[in-house]
Amino acid sequence: MDYAAARKVMVDSQVRVNDVTDRALQAALLAVPRERFVPAERAYSAYAEIEPEIAGGRRLMLARDLSKLLMALGAKQGETALGIAGPYAAAVLGRMGLDATAQESDAAVIEVLGPVLAEEHVTAVVAPLSAPTGAGWDVIISEAAVPGRPDAWINALNVGGRLAVVERVGPAGKAVLYMRGEQGISRRELFDAAPPVLAELAPEPTFAL
């Protein structure tokens, strides 16, 4: 399979047609080998309009939705970026000139992705996803959905920092952009999306007698 050709088809048919006009982002998507972000036996699925599994239930976000989230971030060269359950997103941001880190809670995911993350100069961290590793991030993004406002993630942003994530309760979800300002937090809804919800962030079930 010609993966370079598949990347061009992906960008032409899934990204550009969805009003993703940022040239630097398009170039990064053309450069990052998405097929390396799934096990070798599933590499063929990386460019289809599906959410291919990496390991342990972790999946890549649809290229269409991820590219729109990334454009909404307005990432700038030299900023710090954290992908929480978003290793491919972190690599794309790295290609755009950001200092990128990928945080995963499942070591099996990093076992699959370790070599490509190292080649893409993305720092890999294994830690619970309920709280970001470190603080003072300029941009944070997730390829998975969260069940509500992720305050711990927002609190890890610098003033001027942005978080792009899908909030999902039930079958539908909404991609949102949070911005941390001097006076507080702003929230802007972007588009409909429904990636899988991070199971470890789901609220504990309650029972009433």
> In angstroms, rounded to a whole number, what is the distance separating the alpha carbons of residues 209 and 126?
39
Q: What is the pLDDT of residue 200?
A: 84
Burial of 131 (0-12, 13-18, 19+ CB in 10 A): middle
Residue ranges of the chain with pLDDT lower than 50?
A: none
User: pLDDT at position 167, please?
Assistant: 97
Nearest to 65 by CA among 146, 144, 149, 140: 144
Please tell me the pTM assigned to this model.
0.94
pLDDT for 82 equals: 98
The string of pLDDT tens digits covering residues 12-41 is 999 999 999 999 999 999 999 999 999 999
Instruction: Extract the tokens encoding 82.
Output: 């954290």
Q: Give residue 202's pLDDT.
A: 75
Comparing C-alpha atoms, which of 195, 205, 103 is closest to residue 146?
A: 195
Specify the pLDDT at position 48: 94
Question: What is the per-residue pLDDT for 130?
Answer: 93
pLDDT for position 209: 53
Helices of type H across 50-104:
63-73, 87-95
Phi, psi torsion values for 165, nearest 5 degrees: -160, 160
Q: What is the pLDDT of residues 198-208, one digit of tens each?
A: 988 876 655 55
Q: Which domains does the chain have, with CATH numbers?
A: 3-200 (3.40.50.150)
